[in-house]
Amino acid sequence: MTTELPDTASDKAVLRGRTMRALGAGVLLGLAFLGACASKEQRAADHVSRGREYLAAEKYREAEIEFRNALQIDPKDAAAHYQLARAYLGMNDLNNAFAELQRALALDPKLRDARLELGRLYLAGGDGNKAEEQARNLIEANARDVDAYLLLATRFMIEGRTEDATNAVKEALAIAPNSAAVRLTEGRLLATQGKLEEAKQAMAQAIALDPDKLDAYTALAMFDRLRGENAAAEEVLKQAIAKFPKNSAPSFQLAELYLAEAKFDEAEAILDRMAKDGPDTLAAKRRLVDVYLERGKMPEAERGVTELVAANKDDLETRYVQARLLVARGDVQKAAAELEQILKEWPGFVRARYQLAIARVRENKLDQAVQELTTCLQYEPGFLAGRMLLARVYFQKGSADLSQEEAKRVLRAAPRSVDMQLIVSDTALARGNFPEARAAAEALVRDFPDRAQGYHRLGRALASEGKHAEAVVQLERALSLSPTSADILADLITVMAAEGKSEQLRIDRVRRHVDANPEVGNARLVLAQLLLASGDTAGGTATLEETISRNPDLLAAYFVLGSVYGQGGQLPQARAQFERLVQRDPKSVVAHMMLGVIDEMEGKYADAAQQYKQALDLQPEFAPAANNLAWHYAERENNLDIALELARKARAKLPDDPYIADTLGWILYKRNLFGAAIEQLKESAGKLPDNPEVRYHLGMAYLKNGDTARAQAELTAALEQKGQFPSADAARAALSGIEAEEPRP
């Protein structure tokens, strides 16, 4: 088909009209298209603009939504990907932040800020090589990029490369000597070198250069704490809280300071206020749960965890708090598995790794605990709690040299750390270096003249050197400062015996202490035991009865008194005595407790359990009855769930009682939680080294945990004690099994 062109004027006019209309329609469509494009670009720009406003207001979730809307319009907007990464960083969503930073740089490799943040994330994730690669890339693009040098310096400090870190800081100082960030990094570097005075000067200079830089305040407060200047640290943090009311960091640090000073109510008040009013309500709730767990407030901790899970059960930090709760409950294996999974998703989560180290200690996997703590310190070299625990784990492993080395590292940063000074003294004593042990103890006395620990350690060191008279002087000083300490009193009596003091003189010394401190149950118990050992059964029995009357929670006194009654054939008379007491006072928990002990000694186990239940009905927190009833359920009814609940209740009430530690440890053993059992049983055996049943329990836990050498040592020690004990035959059988499996020469 062909189209004929018109050749008449009228036809040409018609054609021109149609053509103009067609052109007009096309122009209008084109203009409409251009308008749509402009509207699309403007919408994206509006989303980005609102997102930036939300970022400035720290409304990160709202910012995320705006940047995502912008990227739906233009997925190749590199700057929007970077801003979205910033929103994720604000929400601590590191995985998504990392992904968005990579997308931004793939679209625009010249995005400097995105590269810097990516380098920081690599460093937080433990990949120092890739962090350095990003820093070098930035320096290649701009040789005067100060932040790139600071990134390098931080990487080198983490790895202990002091010379490289120093060079990087020097480069940064040459470029920006008046930068608060540079001076702050310089201060941190000086601190790692133990140059605390210079470090503090650098921190103060950072604040002077930029009074609005929060990091400088918090760093200065930390250094004040390390130097033992807590009042100065408190003042700096209060200034920071007033200056930066919307930032949670100074409030958290002040709470930590109060916790370190045992001002628990003040710390909880800060965290509780933050949990209700902000800033950072969820983080405050998580830390509050931590504090509850540290203080043994299990119901409060469990309520807190329930609230956190309801808010966001998938949040890594909430999962971490749940794992902490599992550790506190003794379900260490499940906690360790969860912490391992968390660390796969967030390798640089130092607190989670620290808790995993604690779990490893409780599982008696000390080598793995060392590995986790070492990794913690690679991520955060200034993490003193991790280094302190590492020193303790090395001491527990018998690695005195390594333990002392770590303790001395802590002391270089925190010279007034009592725990680490004690480690130095104890490790020196363990290695037989008595002069060093004495010097460390003298330093404690010099730094803390109002505390008993220094005098106590000095007394031990002097006694080890055979200087018994001097040791007695120091132990007397220690006891005057800590009159409730059973360990100091026991050491004093032991040294007096080594000095040649008579039995009567030792009895008189303890009696004077009891008269001066009538409410100290442990002292009265020591007196009773001395009297019994001297043959004064009547005096010992009367003292025990008075001990229980004054200190009904002292579990050991019931055991000793019951033993005295049994050995003297006085159980019927004792029963009649306490039954009369119940008739006069049906609410006497002591009477029910003693009747339960007597029933047990006579083999009336069901009756004994009933007495313990009555005591708990009268006083639900009565730890001695909870402990004995826990033992009954574990040994005679095989009801391990109720037994564990009762034992934990008793342990929370009396955390230092070795008999309760033994009960809890044995129940954990029966639940096949051998590592957790060892932790409890080691403590019990350490305080009751002459108790064969406790040593047997520890030996069996070692055996089931695969540590045959320690199992053999504990079982042998149990069987070498004087007299028989209920599990002697089982101990012999286990020991024979170990010996049978030993390779023949």
Q: What is d(CA 520, CA 481) in angstroms, rounded to the nearest whole number?
A: 14
Q: pLDDT class for 646, splitting at 50, 70, 90?
A: very high
Taking residue 94's Cβ as centre, other Cβ atoms within 10 Å add up to 18
Enter the pTM of the model: 0.61
Write the pLDDT tens digit of every residue in 145-201: 999 999 999 888 877 788 999 999 999 999 999 998 899 889 888 877 878 788 888
- Residue with token string 């639940």: 671
Q: pLDDT class for 38, splitting at 50, 70, 90?
A: low
List of residues 6+ apart from 322 with CB closer than 8 A:
305, 308, 309, 338
| DSSP 8-state symbol, 744 | P
Angle, helices 350-362/384-397, rounded to nearest 10 degrees: 20
List the alpha helices (DSSP H) in 196-297: 196-209, 214-226, 230-243, 249-260, 264-277, 281-294
Write the pLDDT tens digit of every residue in 84-128: 999 988 876 777 888 999 999 999 999 999 999 999 888 876 788
**What does each C-alpha distance from 200 to 190, 208, 414, 416, 597 come to in angstroms?**
9, 12, 13, 17, 60
pLDDT exceeds 70 at position 11: no
| DSSP 8-state symbol, 40 | H
Q: What is d(CA 222, CA 407) in angstroms, rounded to the nearest whole number?
A: 19
Question: Please, what is the Cα angle at 23 between 21 and 25, to 5 degrees?
Answer: 70
pLDDT of residue 8: 35
Write the pLDDT tens digit of every residue in 245-298: 888 889 998 998 888 777 888 999 999 999 998 888 888 898 899 888 888 788
Tokens of 639: 């009801």
Dihedral sign for Cα 123, 129, 133, 135, please: positive
- Whole-number mean pLDDT of the chain? 86
Percent of the chain with pLDDT over 70: 93
Q: pLDDT class for 687, splitting at 50, 70, 90?
A: confident
- Can you state the percent helix, strand and coil of the chain, rounding each to 5? 80, 0, 20
pLDDT of residue 203: 82
| DSSP 8-state symbol, 627 | H
195: region left, alpha or beta (phi > 0 left; psi from -120 to 50 alpha) = beta
Write the pLDDT tens digit of every residue in 190-231: 877 878 788 888 888 888 888 887 877 887 887 777 667 888
Which helix (DSSP H) or strand (DSSP E) does residue 623 occupy? helix 623-636
- Tell the burial category of 264 from Cβ atoms under 10 Å away from its Cβ (0-12, 13-18, 19+): middle
pLDDT of residue 25: 40
Interval 515-526 mean pLDDT: 90
pLDDT of residue 695: 94
Angle, helices 658-670/640-653, rounded to nearest 10 degrees: 150
pLDDT exceeds 50 at position 28: no
Q: What is the DSSP string of 371-403?
A: HHHHHHHHH-TT-HHHHHHHHHHHHHHT-HHHH
Write the pLDDT tens digit of every residue in 724-738: 788 999 999 999 998
pLDDT exceeds 70 at position 543: yes
Interval 531-543 mean pLDDT: 93
- Most trustworthy range by pLDDT among 284-288, 298-302, 458-462: 458-462
Write the pLDDT tens digit of every residue in 342-370: 988 887 788 899 999 998 887 778 889 99
**What does each C-alpha distance from 187 to 119, 157, 279, 415, 518 come to in angstroms?**
22, 12, 28, 18, 52
pLDDT of residue 226: 66
- Residue with token string 């994330």: 121
Q: What is d(CA 79, CA 100) in angstroms, rounded to the nearest whole number?
A: 10
Q: What is d(CA 305, CA 315) in angstroms, rounded to the nearest whole number?
A: 12
